[in-house]
A = this chain, B = another copy of it.
Amino acid sequence: MTDNSRPARPVMLGQNQYGKAENRVVKITRDGATHHIKDLNVSVSLSGDMDEVHYSGSNANVLPTDTTKNTVFAFAKEHGIDSAEQFGIHLARHFVTSQEPIHRARIRIEEYAWERIEAPAAGSQVTGADEARHSFVRKGQETRLAQITYDGERWEVVSGLKDLVVMNSTDSEFWGYVKDRYTTLPEAYDRILATQVSARWRFNWSDDGQQTPHWEKSYEQTRKHMLQAFAETYSLSLQQTLYQMGSRIIDNRDEIDEVRFSLPNKHHFLVDLEPFGLKNENEVYHAADRPYGLIEATVLREGCEARIPVDLTNL
Check B178–A117 contact: CB distance below 8 A: no
Q: Which partner residue on chain B sits nearest A289 by CB separation?
A: B289
Given contacts A37-B169, A182-B67, A291-B21, contact A176 B73 (CB under 8 A): no
Check A251–B11 contact: CB distance below 8 A: yes
Interface residues of A in 139-157 (CB under 8 A from B): 139-142
Check B293–A21 contact: CB distance below 8 A: yes
> Of B37, B224, B239, which is within 8 A of A50 by CB?
B239
Q: Does A98 contact B (CB under 8 A)?
A: yes
Check A180–B28 contact: CB distance below 8 A: no
Given contacts A9-B247, A67-B183, A136-B169, contact A16 B298 (CB under 8 A): yes
Given contacts A57-B240, A120-B232, 16 further A-B contacts (CB under 8 A): A11-B300, A14-B297, A18-B296, A27-B283, A30-B282, A62-B239, A63-B177, A67-B185, A76-B283, A76-B284, A77-B273, A118-B224, A126-B232, A134-B170, A138-B166, A182-B276
Question: Which residues of B have CB within 8 Å of A309?
Answer: 309-311
Q: Does A15 contact B (CB under 8 A)?
A: yes
Q: Give Cα A273 to B39, complex, Å.
A: 18
A-B contact list, 29 entries, CB within 8 Å: A1-B232, A9-B247, A11-B299, A13-B243, A20-B294, A37-B169, A39-B287, A43-B294, A54-B243, A59-B174, A64-B178, A64-B185, A67-B178, A67-B184, A69-B291, A70-B182, A74-B182, A101-B178, A126-B228, A131-B228, A132-B231, A134-B169, A134-B170, A134-B171, A135-B231, A138-B141, A138-B165, A138-B167, A140-B141
Report whether over half of chain A's contact residues are helix, strand or loop; otherwise say mixed. Answer: mixed
Chain A: number of interface residues, binned into ranges: 35 or more
Question: Which residues of B have CB within 8 Å of A122?
Answer: none
Question: Which residues of B have CB within 8 Å of A141?
Answer: 137-141
Tallying the copies of this chain within the complex gives 4
Q: Does A65 contact B (CB under 8 A)?
A: yes
Q: Give Cα A78 to B118, complex, Å.
A: 38
Q: Give Cα A86 to B297, complex, Å.
A: 28
Question: Which residues of B have CB within 8 Å of A114?
Answer: 167
A227: min CB distance to chain B, Å: 5
Q: Which partner residue on chain B sits nearest A167 by CB separation?
A: B136
Check B135–A22 contact: CB distance below 8 A: no
